Amino acid sequence: MTAKPSAQKKKEGLLRRHFGADTAEIMKSINASIDIDRRLYNQDIAGSVAHCNMLVSQGLITEDDGLAITRGLEEVRKEIEAGQMEFDPALEDIHMHVEARLTELVGDAGKRLHMARSRNDQVATDFRLWVRDALDGLELAFQNLHKVFIDLAEDHVETVMPGFTHSQPAQPVTFAHYLLAYVEMIGRDRGRLRDARGRLNECPLGSAALAGTSFDIDRELTAAELGFDRPTANSIDSVSDRDFALEALSAAAIAAVHLSRLSEELVLWSSPSFGLVRLADEFSTGSSIMPQKRNPDAAELVRAKSGMIIGSLNALLITVKGLPLAYSKDLQEDKKPTFDSLDTLLLCVEAMTGMMGSLEVDKQRMREMAGAEYSTATDLADWMVREGGLAFRDAYNAAGAVVNLAKDRGCRLEDLPLIDMQTVEACISDSVYEVLSLDESVASRSSQGGTAGARVREALSSARARYL
């Protein structure tokens, strides 16, 4: 019985060293990327099938060889998915593993597959395909998150809450209006991810190592089969840049920042000090020692993981920034930060979708906090400008004096007697009380994009049409 060839022998059957000493053991370890890039197997096989079909179409290999190769590649795919593929660092990467196994299965035909391509354009194509697939998955996840926000907002058009500046209650708004702020942020996040997808959707295959190929290939055919809009325009650029990954990670980092800000608010608002919302049990944990605790762990983890996503962007920027054209081995290190970042963002989006979809809102507590700290003082100043003819700065100062007076009396603005207000500013009349309540304050903010109910309903209708 013939012994099964080692991974090193398989590699030597494909690539022969043309210089003296054997590879150092540590070199074999540092050179291998199979533990990371094995995730590209689907994309690698898809690219190889498209390349094979193009070679047949151009008469560069026979139809019989093409059929053997495509059938063999499908068998390799099945073996990998069934966990039957033996991955060995000696074969370095997923591309060599697929080619080596293909050659074992179909013989010499497998050796013809690499005609008119290099691992440089092969990996650039595989990587673009993977990032594109990841962005498509994120688009769907963000759409689901969008729906949760819009549905929740529609339930809370009349729910008054404090709007904050500097983490202090500032002016009353509705919870729907607050949620719509994140709807717009998420909309821009989706737009950036779609923009990144659009720019990356060019096919590097056929660029070969860096200079193109002397074979009569059809790059348009290959690009079309793989769902790309067009082939890349320059062979050097095709294999040497990773700005498509950088753009995706940049968009991911911005989206993660938005999720982190929301997480911070969920952590604060679910605390007893605020008590505005309650995270569902499914997204909370207990303490190992304090039985009364409900910890907002899911929100805290989203907040923390945003830092990792930002770090991945920085890591890839630093890797690429000093590289001369064209390909350098440094680019082998582009996959891990990209995989980690986009995987983590997807996890965070799905976790946030669950948290917001099951969020319990304490309407009464929101209203109580909205009415605290004289949050309708701006409405008082606006009234004095509109009804009393004061310049805004004079009205601003008068409203501040009225607030101080209410504090001294220990009462709300709307409970301060008119005669007391008039000691500050004589133009104040009984009609001022019409603007000092929470509901009137909210209803008055009717400028485009404001928190008034009619404007919020307009925004909800627009958001549903734009994003769902």
Known catalytic membership, residue 97: no
Candidates 318, 326, 337, 311; CA nearest to 241 is 326
First-to-last C-alpha distance (Å) of the chain: 62
Site of tokens 């890797």: 319
Catalytic annotation on 166?
Answer: yes
CA–CA separation, 24 and 34 (whole Å): 18
Would strands 230-231 and 160-165 be described as parallel, antiparallel, or unpaired?
A: unpaired
**Cα–Cα distance between 201 and 223 in angstroms, integer?**
9
Separation between Cα atoms, residue 277 and residue 272, nearest integer Å:
10
- Cα dihedral sign, 352-358-363-368: negative
CA distance 146 to 463: 9
Burial class from Cβ neighbours inside 10 Å (0-12, 13-18, 19+) for residue 113 reads buried
Complete DSSP assignment for 144-185: HHHHHHHHHHHTTTT-EEEEEETTEEEEEEEHHHHHHHHHHH
**DSSP structure string for 3-72:** PPPPHHHHHHHH----SSSPPPHHHHHHH--HHHHGGGHHHHHHHHHHHHHHHHHTTSS-HHHHHHHHHH
Cβ count within 10 A of residue 397:
15
From the list 18, 29, 166, 447, the catalytic residue is: 166
Indicate which residue of 287, 429, 461, 462 is catalytic.
287
Comparing C-alpha atoms, which of 296, 306, 302, 304 is closest to residue 359?
Answer: 296
Under 8 Å between Cβ of 160 and 438:
yes
- 428 φ, ψ to 5°? -70, 130
Residue 372 burial class via C-beta count within 10 angstroms: exposed 0-12, middle 13-18, buried 19 and up: exposed
C-alpha 436: how far from chain center? 42
Residues annotated as part of the active site? 166, 287
